[in-house]
Amino acid sequence: MYDSEKIVNLFSLVCLGFSLLATSYHTILYVFFRDRLILNYALYLFFSSLFVLLRGEIPADLVGPLRAENLHQYLNEGLQIVSFTLYINFGINALGLQHLANKRYYKVWLILGSVMLCYAIVVIVFNSIGRRLPSFFFLAIRIIIFSICLVLLCRLVMLKKSRFQELVLLGCTYFFLTTLMSFIANTRANKTIILGAIEWLDVGYMGDILFFSIAIGYWVKSIFDEKQAAVLEAEQEKFVVQQMKFEKNKAIMDARVEERNRISMDIHDDLGSGLTKIAILGEIAKTQLGEPDKARTNLENIANHSRELIDNLENIIWVLNAENDTLAAFAAYLREYVVNFFDTENIKADCHFVLTDENTQLSEVQRRNMFLVIKETCNNITKHAGCNEVAISLEQTEQHLHISIRDNGRGFEIANSRPLGNGLKNMRTRLSQIGGSCEIETVLGIGTEVNFRLPFFCYKK
């Protein structure tokens, strides 16, 4: 009999060491990965280790045989039920039943799990005051445990499982069978079925730890792979963002280079040709000093070309100035220009501007093209309209920027507008470059109205 007890105690000691090692290992895994599933398993191992510890000789060596026996009587049943509860909870979470579309199984488990924990607390309290619950509760709680395990196993067999879940299912099945053998051995009193009730639990417990530890290994690998994938995805997103930023900056630089090239061409074409023309007219005027009328005509032409060059230079400087990139700045410049322009022609200019967002941004190309088509329209009015009043309106809506220029001149027939042909064509070309459009309404003897429309998305950043 002594040898048998010694073997049982040695078996329990090996089981305790196995359990403590697994508890430490999975606690470290939880600290490193902070995963809830690993925490559930570590808690199960911890309480199971306490349960195994109470059945061994270590408590007797620490606190004495009598106190060790009392602790065993007080806590044995409660710790065993807590361990079973945590074990089932781990299995349910490992197999993802809480994430199923139909959560009735999980809701039933929450109720039954709460009942099992309440039973564990009650039995510990009753044992501590020297009272015992009727044996009915002992049998009922185990029937509940076996029923849950059986239903869980049947349910899990029908699920599509990963490698991790398959190992958990094997572990659960193995532990269920050994626990069933332990229960049968416990009900047969002194009769054993190969092993005693406790030995069956120890065998099931150590085999179960083996299955679950391998399963947790797969789980940890999946977590690590997910983290690596997340890091890789973050790096890829960072690369994409940097690539987009680079492309945006490149597009901005290309636009600036293109704009500088355009400006250099404007300076070469407009200012260069204008200065060349002034120089030629000056040379001609020198030869006409003996003919005052001809010389005066050329001098007037020189003055007119000089004013045009000054206006063009001011326009270029205004477009290049970054402080003028708002709609409010554009409206202010436009108001000043048209009032001064028509004032020199003895034409009354009435401006009416409505802005909903003065900070709306306009690019250099947008400002330049819009201004040039308005300037061309003003020139056409002075040359062909024969009017004395002009109304200019600018209205900003949620969808468009709308500019209208209306005169009270003689009007014209659009079909026979040969003098305006190239001018209208250039205006429409400039507007198309910035997504805008132009509409002309004219009535002979009443006047002409030119409407420019720039889509909202084309000018708002």
One-character DSSP codes across 264-298: HHHIIIIIIHHHHHHHHHHHHHHHTTT-HHHHHHH
Average pLDDT, the chain: 79
What percent of the chain lies above the pLDDT cut of 90? 2
Reported as a single tens digit per residue, the pLDDT across 372-431 is 888 888 888 888 888 888 999 998 887 788 999 999 888 887 666 555 556 677 788 888
Quick one: 90 and 191 in the same domain?
yes
Reported as a single tens digit per residue, the pLDDT across 94-133 is 777 666 656 777 788 888 889 899 999 999 899 888 888 8
Query: Distance of alpha carbon 119 from its chain centroid, rounded?
Result: 47
Residue 402's beta-bridge partner residues? 395, 453
Asked which of 43-47, 138-142, 455-459 is least confident by mean pLDDT, the reply is: 455-459
Among 236, 271, 287, which residue terminates a domain? 236
> Whole-angstrom Cα distance, residue 273 to residue 314?
17
| β strands within 263-410, DSSP E | 348-354, 389-396, 400-407
Quick one: 81 and 193 in the same domain?
yes
**For the chain, how many residues are written?**
461
Count helices and strands in the chain by DSSP H and E runs = 14, 5
Quick one: 331 and 232 in the same domain?
no
111 lies in a domain? yes
> Domain with 451 in it: what CATH number?
3.30.565.10
23 lies in a domain? yes
Quick one: 193 and 338 in the same domain?
no
Quick one: 203 and 341 in the same domain?
no
What percent of the chain lies above the pLDDT cut of 70? 84
More confident residue, 157 or 74: 74
Reported as a single tens digit per residue, the pLDDT across 248-282 is 888 778 777 776 666 666 666 566 666 777 777 77
Does residue 150 have a pLDDT over 50? yes
247 lies in a domain? no
Quick one: 225 and 333 in the same domain?
no
> Domain with 175 in it: what CATH number?
1.20.1070
110 lies in a domain? yes
Residue 288's beta-bridge partner residues? none
The tokens describing 123, both together, are 């039995």
Quick one: 93 and 200 in the same domain?
yes
419 lies in a domain? yes
306 lies in a domain? no
User: Taking residues 284-309, what's their average pLDDT?
Assistant: 74
DSSP 96-158: TGGGSS--HHHHHHHHHHHHHHHHHHHHHHHHHTT----HHHHHHHHHHHHHHHHHHHHHHHT
More confident residue, 12 or 381: 381
> Whole-angstrom Cα distance, residue 218 to residue 84?
23
More confident residue, 169 or 241: 241
Q: What's the pLDDT score for residue 118?
A: 92
Reported as a single tens digit per residue, the pLDDT across 357-370 is 878 877 777 888 88
Question: By residue range, what is the domain housing residue 431?
Answer: 323-461
Among 236, 265, 295, which residue terminates a domain? 236
Does residue 143 have a pLDDT over 80? yes
276 lies in a domain? no
Number of domains in the chain: 2
Quick one: 28 and 160 in the same domain?
yes
Among 236, 266, 292, which residue terminates a domain? 236
Quick one: 14 and 136 in the same domain?
yes
In the structure, what pLDDT confidence band is assigned to residue 2 with cuts at 50, 70 and 90?
A: very low
Q: What is the CA radius of gyration of the chain?
A: 46
402 lies in a domain? yes
Reported as a single tens digit per residue, the pLDDT across 173-198 is 887 788 778 777 777 655 555 677 77
Quick one: 232 and 331 in the same domain?
no
